[in-house]
Amino acid sequence: MNKRFFPFFFLFSLNVLFAQTTQNGEGLVSVRSEAPSLSEVTAHIAFEEVPSLLQGIWQGSDRLIMFSNQNEFALVLRVFYQWYNDRASEPASFAELKSRDRNNTTVSPAEDIQIQYITIVENPSKTAGVYELSVKYPHDKNPVLIPVCVIDGKIYLDFLIKDSAEITDTRLRPDSGGEKSASDGFYRAASSASGITIAPPVFNKEVLSYFVTSEGKEIYKIRYWLSEMDYSYAKATFSDGDKIFSVDKYLRIGSSVFQCTTGRSTKIRNIQKSSKFDKTTIYDSDGGIIAFGNPYLVKVPEGSERETLFELVSENNKRRKPAPRHLFPPDFPKFRWKEITDLELYNPSTWNKRNLDIHK
């Protein structure tokens, strides 16, 4: 070692040693305090088996969707104002059972989309649940996560989940023990996708969560925005007078992370307060999930087999749209006929008089 460098190295080592330790009667004791570690984040696992609440055929204003436990996914687009149903996405085996139409609307072959399913939360009554569809599009390298919510046989795309993510994630474990949330008035946003589509959907860059007081008279609106921070169960707080409330600092929605504070701050600013939700709300039977607005899809009760889907498409395509109205409808002359008794229709002597009446 260079002799001129050695004194500096020795002094630097002593500074580091004394910065990390202190001397007491029993020897050197470390005084560097470690920050308390957050709970380990629960991983979301995707399965090929369709959750029971999702299994079947779903119909919306512009599409039909089938989730089958045979690892089959089909999507029918109801184009031309629902007057034509295009089997846009389906497994290759479907064409062997029933050939697809060939026209200037369809694309050959159909998109073969693979889907796996992630359960985020289900209510105890098994009447509602939140899931993420891990959708593998044919021309994309990585799957796309699309959150959906099922309440009483209807699928919604705008919804909230009660409790913090740490609590709901823990309930999915076998040893959860039925934990309760300390901030049971927190309803976190869990949706961001525009739809279940044959191409990657559009995702929101901002979402809204809410904190509802125990009396339900005050609702606090909390804005979250896209973040590049690592996801964790960290908490953030906001206050209203003497009252202090705690919520999740980060939200994990699909493949994105959202946060409600700047940087590493834990204090939420610019909270908006109101007495009710801004949108029409739909609660599940246990009050753990809230959906907004109209349902995206409604379950078809007939069945979940491929033949049922083919029948629905055939029945829809049998309809024929009525002929359109004339652009230039015929316009008949408007005049007042005299009473037939006065006109004496069959009296030749009055014909000239009638002609004068018509053209006057």
182 Cβ partners below 8 Å, 6+ apart?
246
Q: Contact 163/181 with Cβ under 8 angstroms?
A: yes
Question: What is the token pair recorded at 206?
Answer: 């901002």
- The rounded distance, in Å, linking the Cα atoms of 91 and 351 is 76
- The rounded distance, in Å, linking the Cα atoms of 46 and 100 is 31
Most confident among 132-136, 268-272, 324-328, 338-342 (mean pLDDT)? 132-136
65 Cβ partners below 8 Å, 6+ apart?
57, 58, 59, 73, 74, 75, 76, 196, 297
Separation in Å, CA 307 to CA 57, 68, 108, 243, 302: 11, 12, 21, 58, 11
**pLDDT band per the 50, 70, 90 thresholds, residue 347:** low
Q: Contact 298/57 with Cβ under 8 angstroms?
A: no
What average pLDDT does the chain have? 82
- The rounded distance, in Å, linking the Cα atoms of 128 and 144 is 23
pLDDT tens-digit profile of 186-203? 999 999 999 999 999 999
Place of tokens 């050939």: 99
- Per DSSP, the residues of 103-145 read SSS--SS-B--EEEEEEEEE-TTSSEEEEEEEEE-TT-SS-EE
Q: Is 307 helix (H, G, I), strand (E, B) or coil?
A: helix
pLDDT tens-digit profile of 194-230? 999 999 999 999 999 999 987 778 899 999 999 999 9
Mean pLDDT of 163-174: 79
How far is it between the farthest Cα atoms of the chain?
142
Annotate 10-37 with three-state secondary structure.
HHHHHHHHHHHEEEECCEEEECCCCCCC
**pLDDT band per the 50, 70, 90 thresholds, residue 351:** low
Question: What is the token pair recorded at 129?
Answer: 């649940």
pLDDT tens-digit profile of 34-76? 333 456 888 899 999 999 999 999 999 999 999 988 788 999 9
pLDDT recorded at residue 225: 96
**Is the pLDDT confidence value at 152 over 80?**
yes
**Is the pLDDT confidence value at 27 over 50?**
no
Separation in Å, CA 356 to CA 331, 350, 360: 21, 10, 6
- The rounded distance, in Å, linking the Cα atoms of 172 and 45 is 11
Q: Contact 238/270 with Cβ under 8 angstroms?
A: no
